[in-house]
């Protein structure tokens, strides 16, 4: 690539700037921002280019640093978030995710808990297989007691994550996998059914080819105790499969992972067996491996309605070099991780902006032409990425575990990285790049966003707006009309060919979603993170057909989302159902709603009735008694007031502020448990009480009062309407979008998958 000056400035959207300022740019101890986006890109470019001197201490890295800078500043390639956040800074932890082993002893389990905490503290997510743990009620010889089983220990990991995630710029997230033949599999399948536990976990069932064949032939299969390898029971495979499908239909989990396929593509079987993936499922890893990912923005690879293959090749080769350098300069949170990662040097070059590329090429997402092009594009990326890795092996040597690898067994040329390509969800990165996420379709072509003073702004996809203006059908009224659903299709205000090209997630049939995933998977070393979207009216059989199709087409896993099935979504877009279900709140049609999830609308703030019912709770704090009044409307928790028994001045004003903010949060759709999580445990200089009655501060008292109120009024047992209308971003109240197994806020970049 031609050497160019560092003065090139990135062209960033306002959303991108907001995300960078909130989560990525360096700050001082007072929280003041110390760098501009261009400074961040230069910091990262200099740090990653400096790895060249580890192989040649006389190397001049300035030219390569400029290439890295331009590639990122032009939004043509971005590494995973920890690299942008931490490269060139004190922490220096650049990996997005890790897999840790969980052994079948108390010592091994709690070693893994400790290691998890260290990883989450450094900004990474973790994947686990709990399949080695003996089942519940199995014998424990050392104590002559019985085992509590994998699920009980998953809760320990979940609580550790809940504690650690309160600070930092990235939340910890986990993946839990249990083999289909584990004796506790039925409990695992339904472990997130009540939505009140394991909220820091994605869960997936590890499915084997043997099991799928048993499903196909309606046969029984064995459950095997991992303690001794003995079969302890049998289940009908089809019954178990139907339970997985039904539960996924209910709330999107569990997903499924095809374990045999992960190990079929395990490049280093002599080093270990793949048991788990990272939290979003796209990166199978050996125990103690980390993933180092980056994505090419395919929307930037189109010139004059044609793919610029030469430029794409340049970015592929530069991206592979960048990611291999990341492996080298990374500061790993554990020595075991450093050893395993350096031994295999796995990288994951992927893509974002696939929907943008199709739109520019005027190819509808849900067509045979798009499926064929997906295979051609990913095959080109995979081939060139492997060639780039082989060139690096000539310069630097192959990955240390190359001897005995499948590459050597097949007589192939040495390669620098055991795996090279991965397609990850690029939720936050795609906001920075102003690109569509991963290989997903658009989530909306137009949507509304509520800003200060309740103003409603209509935001339009940039290519859609340019197309509308060029073809003469743009109007602010039409854009606002489209924003009600986010969808261009079936809209009489625009040409039919435009409706076809601008497909959104719910315009695409589930079968086409999975076929697109399979097309990319065919030419991807690791796996493909993608959400298969279903309408709210989809049946359990519809989900079963997609799971079966994923197996037939060679996918390595499946994540599905049925509209409205998870409580993290607010109101689905589209027309209001003919008959509202008892647990639904219909939107106020007199004012625009805010696009929130994939084609979902944010619930407008509730207006205060003249009369509300409530209760006042007295809590004892170190500053005296505090009286906390909690009022409800017909939907649930509505507002909170505080009165201090003897304190005035600053203490009273701070408590009034807490009450106002809690009230605003509830009226804006933020769930009560998120409020409790933010306030509970805050301590001050003067706590009160002991044991379970200890109150650490006024904020802690408010959290405990809310808990008391919910317990006394049936919120823990009977989900009230308000508690089911959820989904507002807990950081900014913005719109959350389901993609790649994650929920990502498109306004501030918050993600529930680390």
Nearest to 130 by CA among 242, 344, 287, 289: 287
Six token digits for residue 498: 């435009």
Six token digits for residue 512: 């086409």
Read out DSSP for 193-261?
A: TTSSS-TTEEEEEEE-HHHHHHHHTT-EEEEEETTTTEEEEEEEHHHHHHHHHHHHHHHS--EEEEHHH
What are the beta bridge partners of residue 601? 571, 595
Mention every residue, 6+ apart, whose C-beta is less than 8 A from residue 119: 98, 100, 125, 126, 172, 333, 334
At 124, phi and psi to the nearest 5? -100, 160
- Which residue's entry shows tokens 């589209």? 574
Contact 626, 645 (CB under 8 A): yes
- Which residue's entry shows tokens 């003249």? 610
Distance CA 478, CA 499 (A): 13
CB-neighbour burial class of residue 540 (10 A; exposed 0-12, middle 13-18, buried 19+): middle
Q: Which is it for strands 600-602 and 571-572: parallel, antiparallel or unpaired?
A: antiparallel
Distance CA 347, CA 344 (A): 9
Q: Is the dihedral of CA 339, 343, 344, 347 positive or negative?
A: positive
Distance CA 482, CA 457 (A): 13
At 100, phi and psi to the nearest 5? -115, 145
Mention every residue, 6+ apart, whose C-beta is less than 8 A from residue 628: 616, 617, 618, 619, 640, 641, 642, 701, 702, 705
Mention every residue, 6+ apart, whose C-beta is less than 8 A from residue 485: 573, 574, 599
Distance CA 424, CA 421 (A): 10
Contact 296, 349 (CB under 8 A): yes
Residues designated as active site: 278, 280, 282
Mention every residue, 6+ apart, whose C-beta is less than 8 A from residue 731: 22, 745, 748, 750
Contact 272, 263 (CB under 8 A): no
Question: What 3-state DSSP class applies to 155?
Answer: helix
Read out DSSP for 418-445?
A: S--B-B---HHHHHHHT---TTPPBS-S
Nearest to 133 by CA among 254, 213, 261, 224: 224
Distance CA 708, CA 715 (A): 10
DSSP label of 528: B
Contact 44, 84 (CB under 8 A): yes
Six token digits for residue 32: 């003041």
Distance CA 460, CA 481 (A): 11
């Amino acid at each position: 690539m031609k050497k160019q000056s560092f003065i090139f400035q990135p062209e960033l959207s306002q959303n991108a700037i907001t995300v960078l300022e909130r989560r990525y740019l360096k700050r001082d101890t007072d929280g003041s921002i110390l760098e501009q986006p261009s400074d961040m890109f230069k910091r990262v470019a200099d740090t990653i280019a400096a790895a060249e001197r580890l192989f040649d201490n006389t190397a001049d890295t300035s030219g390569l640093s400029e290439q890295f800078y331009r590639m990122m500043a032009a939004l043509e390639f971005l590494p995973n978030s920890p690299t942008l956040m931490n490269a060139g800074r004190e922490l220096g932890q650049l990996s997005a995710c890790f897999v840790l082993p969980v052994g079948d002893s108390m010592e091994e389990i709690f070693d893994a808990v400790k290691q998890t905490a260290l990883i989450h503290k450094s900004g990474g997510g973790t994947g686990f297989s709990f399949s080695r743990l003996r089942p519940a009620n199995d014998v424990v010889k050392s104590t002559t007691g019985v085992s509590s089983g994998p699920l009980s220990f998953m809760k320990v990991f979940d609580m550790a994550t809940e504690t650690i995630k309160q600070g930092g710029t990235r939340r910890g997230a986990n993946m839990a996998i249990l083999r289909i033949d584990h004796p506790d599999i039925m409990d695992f399948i339904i472990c997130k059914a009540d939505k009140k536990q394991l909220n820091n976990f994605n869960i997936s069932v590890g499915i084997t080819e043997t099991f799928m064949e048993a499903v196909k032939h309606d046969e029984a299969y064995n459950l095997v105790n991992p303690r001794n390898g003995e079969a302890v029971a049998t289940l009908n495979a089809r019954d178990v499969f139907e339970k997985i499908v039904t539960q996924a239909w209910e709330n999107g989990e569990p997903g499924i992972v095809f374990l045999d396929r992960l190990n079929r593509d395990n490049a280093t079987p002599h080093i270990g067996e793949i048991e788990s993936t990272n939290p979003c499922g796209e990166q199978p890893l050996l125990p103690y491996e980390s993933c180092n990912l980056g994505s090419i923005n395919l929307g930037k690879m189109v010139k004059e309605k044609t793919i610029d293959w030469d430029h794409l090749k340049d970015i592929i080769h530069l991206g592979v070099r960048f990611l291999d350098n990341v492996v080298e300069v990374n500061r790993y949170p554990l020595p075991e991780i450093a050893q395993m990662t350096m031994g295999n040097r796995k990288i994951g070059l992927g893509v974002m902006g696939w929907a943008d590329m199709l739109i520019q090429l005027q190819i509808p997402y849900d067509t045979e032409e798009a499926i064929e092009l997906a295979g051609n594009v990913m095959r080109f990326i995979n081939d060139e990425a492997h060639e780039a890795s082989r060139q690096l092996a000539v310069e630097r040597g192959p990955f240390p575990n190359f001897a005995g690898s499948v590459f050597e067994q097949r007589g192939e040329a040495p390669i620098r990285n055991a795996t090279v390509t991965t397609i990850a969800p690029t939720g936050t990165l795609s906001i920075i790049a102003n690109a569509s996420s991963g290989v997903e379709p658009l989530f909306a072509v137009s949507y509304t966003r509520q800003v200060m003073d309740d103003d409603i702004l209509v935001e339009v996809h940039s290519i859609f707006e340019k197309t509308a203006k060029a073809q003469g059908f743009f109007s602010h009224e039409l854009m606002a009309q489209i924003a009600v659903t986010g969808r261009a299709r079936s809209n009489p205000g625009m040409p039919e060919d435009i409706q076809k090209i601008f497909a959104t997630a719910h315009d695409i049939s589930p079968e086409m979603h999975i076929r697109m995933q399979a097309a990319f998977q065919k030419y991807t070393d690791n796996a493909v993170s993608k959400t298969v979207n279903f309408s709210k009216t989809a049946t359990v059989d519809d989900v079963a057909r997609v799971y079966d199709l994923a197996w037939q087409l060679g996918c390595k896993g499946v994540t599905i989302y049925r509209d409205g099935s998870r409580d993290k979504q607010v109101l689905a877009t589209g027309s209001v159902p003919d008959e509202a279900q008892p647990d639904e709140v219909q939107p106020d049609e007199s004012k625009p709603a805010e696009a929130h999830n994939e084609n979902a609308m944010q619930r407008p703030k509730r207006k205060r009735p003249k009369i509300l019912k409530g209760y006042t709770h007295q809590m004892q704090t170190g500053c005296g008694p505090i009286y906390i009044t909690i009022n409800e409307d017909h939907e649930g928790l509505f507002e909170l007031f505080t009165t201090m028994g003897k304190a005035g001045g600053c203490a009273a004003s701070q408590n009034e502020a807490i009450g106002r903010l809690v009230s605003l949060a509830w009226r804006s759709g933020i769930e009560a448990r998120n409020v409790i999580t933010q306030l509970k445990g805050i301590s001050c200089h003067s706590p009160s009480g002991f044991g379970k009655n200890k109150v650490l501060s006024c904020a802690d008292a408010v959290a405990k009062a809310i808990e008391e109120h919910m317990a006394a009024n049936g919120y823990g047992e009977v989900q009230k309407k308000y508690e089911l209308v959820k989904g507002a971003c807990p950081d900014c109240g913005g719109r959350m979008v389901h993609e790649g197994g994650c929920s990502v806020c498109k306004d501030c970049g918050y993600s529930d998958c680390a």
